[in-house]
Amino acid sequence: MTAPVSLAWLDDAAEKRRVAGLHRTLLPRTSGSRLVDLASNDYLGLVRHPEVVAGAAAALRRWGAGSTGSRLVTGTTAEHELLERELAEFVGAEAGLVFASGYAANLGAVTALGGPGTLIVSDAGSHASLVDACRLSRSRVQVAPHADVEFVETALATRAEPRALVLTDSVFSADGDLAPLQALHRVCRAHDALLLVDEAHGVGVRGVGGRGLVHEVGLAGEPDVVVTATLSKSLAAQGGIVLGDSRIREHLIDTARTFIFDTGLAPAAVGAARSALRILREQPERATAVLQRAADLARITGVDAPESAVVSVILGDPTIAVGAAAACRERGLHVGCFRPPSVPAGTSRLRLTARADLETADLDLIASVLGDVLAEARV
Ligand code: PMP
């Protein structure tokens, strides 16, 4: 018998990450945790809402634990189709198609709408799932400097490909800033391109009653705008969706590989997302509250007023950011800590996310802990 292949290179790679402050550890949550959560994406504070849990439980009891197959075979329940219609109606799109995750929705949409003969222009700050989607799509890809509409226009105007697809997040996940959607749409219109907008951090936060940034800037229902979103942030569940013209839905059903070859989303997640959406419709003030709490977090940490739920406190060095996050945790605050490759080198940070249900007592604790921790970290 020959020896198994050596895994020593993994030790070397791990050591390099440790030295660079880029080693990661999993920190399991404990169900009775008293930590104030400033790290999750549960923007509307709905993940434990009794109606959301009941929605999941009802779907679980009715349809079982798993969806049992691909959407095209046995993995579509009435619940999936209802969520697709309800979410499409909510954001003002003609149709929706649920995927197993937001990541799969982006991979599926971009690969099905791209391919040879399509130029893709993607913002440099686009989410990793869009980056991977570009790579998988076998399109020619141009990465536009962040929010650089002129670059996008030149790329579209000078292309040889008959079709083009422009990709951007609506709310960028690391900095929480907004894409120039109207200007991007104008150049897409002028140059026969589709605009695909990832609203993972926009739905539930921006727009009237949380209908998203695309809705807010008046682009809802435009046939040349495709929206992707996750069900795992404001909608407190799991899964993803592509929203747009019904011909796009048809095209994805027939050609999106992450739709065709992936098992359908578990019914409980669909039931939870439907309940969360119902609550958001009935209580639109939850969306407003997220932005108000984000403004509170920005004031406490002395950073610019945020445009979304994401408040980034840049500390620079990854070791300092990790130390600050650990100090917060010891004093009862769970904050996000973003380091390369999630953010550019030199911009490691605490990433705080606002939740609609943060209370005054939480904000008092946050002010006290972050006041001390940031004073030390920023020295
Ligand atoms: N897009 C963006 C902008 C995201 O932040 C995320 C989740 N981190 C995703 C897509 C992927 O969504 P999901 O977690 O549902 O796969």
Cα of 200 vs centre of ligand 1, distance in Å, is 6
Q: How far apart are CA 282 and CA 52, in angstroms?
A: 13
Whether 312 is in the pocket of ligand 1, judged by its Cβ within 6 Å, is: no
Residue 184's closest CA among 207, 159, 155, 141?
Answer: 155
Ligand 1 atom closest to the Cα of residue 240 is 15
Contact criterion met (CB below 8 Å) for 111 and 137 = yes
Ligand 1 atom closest to the Cα of residue 172 is 3
Q: Using the CB atoms, write b or e for 344-369: b if 16+ within 10 Å.
A: eeebbbbbbbbbbbbeeebbeebeeb
Q: Using the CB atoms, write b or e for 20-32: b if 16+ within 10 Å.
A: ebbeeeeeeeeee
Full pLDDT tens readout for the chain, 379 residues: 899 999 999 999 999 999 988 888 888 887 777 899 999 999 999 999 999 999 999 999 999 999 999 999 999 999 999 999 999 999 999 999 999 999 999 999 999 999 999 999 999 999 999 999 999 999 999 999 999 999 999 999 999 999 999 999 999 999 999 999 999 999 999 999 999 999 999 999 999 999 999 999 999 999 999 999 999 999 999 999 999 999 999 999 999 999 999 999 999 999 999 999 999 999 999 999 999 999 999 999 999 999 999 999 999 999 999 999 999 999 999 999 999 988 999 999 999 999 999 999 999 999 999 999 999 998 8
From 41, 101, 103, give the residue whose CB has the most ligand 1 atoms within 8 Å, as the site to mutate: 103
Whether 127 is in the pocket of ligand 1, judged by its Cβ within 6 Å, is: yes
3-state secondary structure of 9: helix
Whether 348 is in the pocket of ligand 1, judged by its Cβ within 6 Å, is: no
Whether 109 is in the pocket of ligand 1, judged by its Cβ within 6 Å, is: no
Whether 99 is in the pocket of ligand 1, judged by its Cβ within 6 Å, is: no
Q: Any idea what DSSP says for residue 256?
A: -
Considering the four listed CATH numbers 3.40.640.10, 3.30.70.1060, 2.115.10.20, 3.10.580.10, the one that applies to the domain covering 50-282 is: 3.40.640.10
Q: How far apart are CA 369 and CA 326, in angstroms?
A: 12
Is the domain spanning 25-48+284-377 CATH 3.90.1150.10? The answer is yes
Whether 338 is in the pocket of ligand 1, judged by its Cβ within 6 Å, is: no
Whether 139 is in the pocket of ligand 1, judged by its Cβ within 6 Å, is: no
Whether 103 is in the pocket of ligand 1, judged by its Cβ within 6 Å, is: yes
Contact criterion met (CB below 8 Å) for 157 and 191 = yes
- Which pTM was predicted? 0.96
Q: Whose CA is nearest to atom 4 of ligand 1?
A: 200
In the numeric block, the tokens 């011909």 are attached to 247
Sign of CA dihedral 308, 309, 315, 316: negative
Q: How far apart are CA 335 and CA 342, in angstroms?
A: 15
Q: Any idea what DSSP says for residue 208?
A: G
Give the start-to-end residue ranges of the domains of the chain: 25-48+284-377, 50-282
Stretch (H or E) spanning 260: helix 257-260
Whether 198 is in the pocket of ligand 1, judged by its Cβ within 6 Å, is: yes
Q: How far apart are CA 82 and CA 267, in angstroms?
A: 12
Cα of 102 vs centre of ligand 1, distance in Å, is 5
3-state secondary structure of 140: strand
Whether 293 is in the pocket of ligand 1, judged by its Cβ within 6 Å, is: no
